[in-house]
Structure 1
């Protein structure tokens, strides 16, 4: 049985073939005394396709106050131009049918893009939760290892103390 297999069996009380991939990976990192990388942004950015990055950018802009205020300003300007400035020859007179068409098309395009971004956020949350689990599992393994080392140290000291007491008792009995 290899050293890592002993480490696995000692900490989980089950053979290595019954452990999941995450447990095996965490145990290997703990055994090698290596840190588990928790950089979620770098890991997910490396795997993101061009479309996913674009969707994230559009959702980031479309969900901001600056976009809302800019779009509100656009609507006010559109309304002013078509009601006051071009009152007689407005290209989109009241009830602003062309503006409604533009808004409908924008909503039709923006909704699936925002949903794609939300799906990516859910994926990011799952990935982050998995990384948190790995870090917590490794921390628990480290604590268990420390408990084992302390227990072994205490047992060694108790054994040495017992031997000293037995030796002193034998010396006292011999004198007495």
Structure 2
């Protein structure tokens, strides 16, 4: 091998390394936005009404609320069933209690729906983050595949060049052997 061939091999190897560096740089640029969005999610700014709706939904959907409400209703019914005269403020069929229950249900339902809508928005944002994570993983896999393809391409190219040189050397050896046999 002469100096030109060595220089060409070194040049080819440098070009190969430059291709690998370009693939890595392109991958890092593409992932930068995704990583930024994952590390810096938008801050959630809650209004006073949203905070209240979350608290009402949290309390209204708890066992504590159910037990407390059951106790209050039981006391209400028992008191009005056994109270005498003036103290009986809501006699059977407990119309006032039914009115209060209807008002509570009418007010509580939209408040809980507001909280559920906000939770749905949070879930949507989480699924967007999951999508970004999956996209980042896919980009990394593609980058690895490109690197593998490039490496295989270079290996095959080098293998063919090596075989070509070996054939040339074999031809030279064969010629020299033919010359020696001819003498």
Considering the TM-score relative to the shorter chain, is it more than 0.5? yes
Q: In structure 1, what is the Cα distance between the partners aligned to 2:65 and 2:38?
A: 35
Is residue 2:78 matched to residue 1:80?
yes
Displacement of 1:80: 1.1
Q: Structure 1 residues 140 and 108, CA, compared in 2 at 3 Å: closer, same or farther?
A: same
Displacement of 1:152: 0.9
Q: In structure 2, what is the Cα distance between the partners aligned to 1:56 and 1:32?
A: 32
Q: In structure 2, what is the Cα distance between the partners aligned to 1:37 and 1:150?
A: 28
Displacement of 1:76: 0.7
* 2:80–2:88 CA contact under 8 A, matched in 1: yes
Question: Which string of whole-angstrom CA distances, capped at 9 and with x for unpartnered residues, describes residues 100-143 of structure 1?
Answer: 12111111210110110121122122212222222111211111
Report how many residues are paired.
150
Is residue 2:31 matched to residue 1:51?
no
Q: Structure 1 residues 160 and 38, CA, compared in 2 at 3 Å: closer, same or farther?
A: same
Equivalent residue for 2:105, pick from 104, 107, 121: 107
SS at match of 1:80: helix
Q: In structure 1, what is the Cα distance between the partners aligned to 2:30 and 2:46?
A: 26
State the structure with more CA Rg.
2
Instruction: Name segments (4+ residues, structure 1) moved above 6 Å.
Output: none
1:37 alignment partner in structure 2: 38
Kindly report the root-mean-square deviation, in angstroms, between the aligned alpha carbons of the 2 structures: 2.7
Q: In structure 2, what is the Cα distance between the partners aligned to 1:127 and 1:32?
A: 16
* 1:36–1:135 CA contact under 8 A, matched in 2: no
Question: Which string of whole-angstrom CA distances, capped at 9 and with x for unpartnered residues, describes residues 66-97 of structure 1?
Answer: 2112111111111111112x243312111112
> Which 5+ residue runs of structure 1 have no aligned equivalent?
1-5, 12-26
Q: In structure 2, what is the Cα distance between the partners aligned to 1:32 and 1:39?
A: 10
1:93 alignment partner in structure 2: 91
Q: Tell which has more relative contact order, 1 or 2 (C-alpha 8 A, sep 6+).
A: 2
Relative to its length, the structure with more helix (as a share) is 2
Q: In structure 2, what is the Cα distance between the partners aligned to 1:82 and 1:54?
A: 33
Please report the TM-score for the alignment, with normalisation by the length of structure 1.
0.74
> Which 5+ residue runs of structure 2 have no aligned equivalent?
1-21, 175-183
